[in-house]
């Protein structure tokens, strides 16, 4: 009989982490979630009814708890909303440095495979478009986003250090803007903001002139990509980095129109200041993920938005969401 693989997921009660856990449980893994519940919520994992799942409240800035044999560590812990980059700056910077160190040393001790969550933010305000993994980015190391994007760059670099020195199997995923159910309505990112505003009948807040672009990936597609990375043979993925995201690029002003049309045509748009260092363009080059994993996203933006609305509607009707702490 083959042993049940054990995966530790840091940030498991967050948006991406909780969906990943659903997939790992259905794939037959034993899963341990480690989360400090800073931006994640117990409600995101309360539906999981499996004796192969446990949730431990733990902050990855502290050494990881002693657990039985661990085969995989998915390191997703980190606040990810630009609204938190200033208010939780030190926490974020340390989560992606000291926290990543704790995760990598733990994986080394357990001889586990690491899937490290990086971000398109490491490309900063890109001068190359679309962004290929070989592009080194254009990041303001002293700007308000630096606690997040520079610490994610360091997190990747620490992964390279562990690989070089200890030869452990680290697979890095650069995640581009992803959305779907279980994002907090008050998360501050654009799709939760726009959906909450439209459902409440408020005008949508477009920052700047709305011509900046993003490429939004539905959560199920992202989880398929992360799964493919974890399942890929060592020869293909160990030490590799791949972009995971949608190539359907849209201006933020057009995203507002899509959401207004689908959710509430009575809403308008109000323009507010563009945050400092807000990237002007963002779209992943996903050819590497295609070649290495045969992965590409399947769910168009309009379909993904429609799949996301019922969750936000329930949340807003129940007014049950918690605020940023």
For ligand NAD, which residue of 31, 73, 77, 299 counts as binding (CB under 6 A)?
77
Closest CA to 214 of 251, 239, 183: 251
Residue 17 touches which of ligand NAD, ligand UDP, none (CB < 5 to 8 A by kind)? ligand NAD
Please, is 249 exposed, middle or buried when counting C-beta atoms within 10 Å of its C-beta (0-12, 13-18, 19+)? middle
Interacting residue with ligand UDP among 59, 169, 240, 278 (CB under 6 A): 278
Query: Any contact of residue 304 with ligand NAD (CB under 6 A)?
Result: no
Q: Which stretch binds ligand UDP (CB under 6 A): 46-54, 200-208, 257-265, 284-292?
A: 200-208
- Answer yes or no whether residue 59 interacts with ligand NAD by CB under 6 A: yes
What six digits make up the tokens of 106? 């733990």
Cα–Cα–Cα angle for 12, 18, 22, nearest 5°?
A: 120
Q: In 97-253, which ranges are E strands? A: 113-119, 170-175, 178-179, 204-207, 213-215, 217-218, 241-244, 249-251
148 is catalytic: yes
Residues 49-88 that bind ligand UDP (CB under 6 A): 82
Residue 16 interacting partner from ligand UDP, ligand NAD, none (CB closer than 5 to 8 Å by kind):
ligand NAD
- DSSP letter at 124 equals B
For residue 40, state whether it binds ligand NAD (rule: CB under 6 A). Answer: yes
Give kind and range of the element (H or E) at residue 32.
strand 30-35
Q: C-alpha angle with apex 56: 55 to 60, nearest 5 degrees?
A: 125
Bridge partner residues of 172 (DSSP): 116, 241
Q: Which does 37 bind (CB under 5 to 8 A by kind): ligand UDP, ligand NAD, none?
A: ligand NAD
Binding site for ligand NAD (CB under 6 A): 10-11, 13-17, 35-40, 59-61, 76-80, 95, 99, 117, 119, 175, 177-178
Binding site for ligand UDP (CB under 6 A): 82, 177, 189-190, 193, 205-207, 212, 214, 252, 274-275, 278
């Amino acid at each position: 009989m083959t042993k049940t693989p054990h995966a530790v997921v840091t940030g498991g009660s967050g948006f991406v982490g909780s969906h990943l856990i659903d997939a790992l449980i259905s794939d037959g893994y034993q899963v341990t979630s480690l989360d400090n519940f800073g931006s994640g919520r117990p409600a995101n994992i309360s539906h999981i009814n499996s004796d192969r799942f446990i949730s431990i409240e733990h902050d990855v800035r502290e050494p990881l708890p002693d657990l039985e044999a661990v085969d995989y560590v998915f390191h997703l812990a980190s606040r990810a909303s630009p609204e938190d980059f200033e208010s939780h700056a030190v926490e974020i910077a340390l989560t992606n440095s000291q926290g990543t160190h704790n995760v990598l040393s733990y994986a080394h001790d357990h001889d586990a495979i690491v899937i490290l969550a990086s971000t398109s933010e490491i490309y900063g305000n890109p001068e190359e478009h679309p962004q290929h993994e070989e592009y080194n980015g254009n990041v303001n190391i002293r700007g308000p986003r630096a606690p997040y994007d520079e610490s994610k760059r360091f997190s990747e670099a620490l992964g390279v250090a562990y690989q070089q020195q200890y030869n452990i199997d680290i697979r890095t995923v650069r995640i581009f803007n992803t959305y779907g159910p279980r994002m907090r309505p008050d998360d501050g990112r654009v799709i939760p903001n726009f959906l909450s505003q439209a459902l409440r009948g408020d005008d949508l807040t477009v920052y700047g002139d709305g011509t900046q672009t993003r490429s939004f990936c539905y959560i199920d597609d992202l989880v398929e990509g992360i799964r493919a990375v974890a399942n890929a043979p060592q020869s293909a993925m160990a030490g590799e980095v791949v972009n995971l995201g949608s190539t359907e690029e849209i201006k933020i002003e057009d995203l507002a129109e899509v959401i207004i049309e689908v959710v509430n045509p009575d809403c308008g748009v109000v323009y507010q200041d563009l945050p400092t260092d807000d990237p002007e363009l963002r779209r992943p080059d996903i050819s590497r993920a295609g070649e290495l994993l045969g992965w590409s996203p399947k769910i168009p933006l309009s379909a993904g938005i429609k799949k996301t609305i019922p969750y936000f509607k329930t949340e807003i009707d129940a007014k049950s969401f918690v605020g940023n702490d």
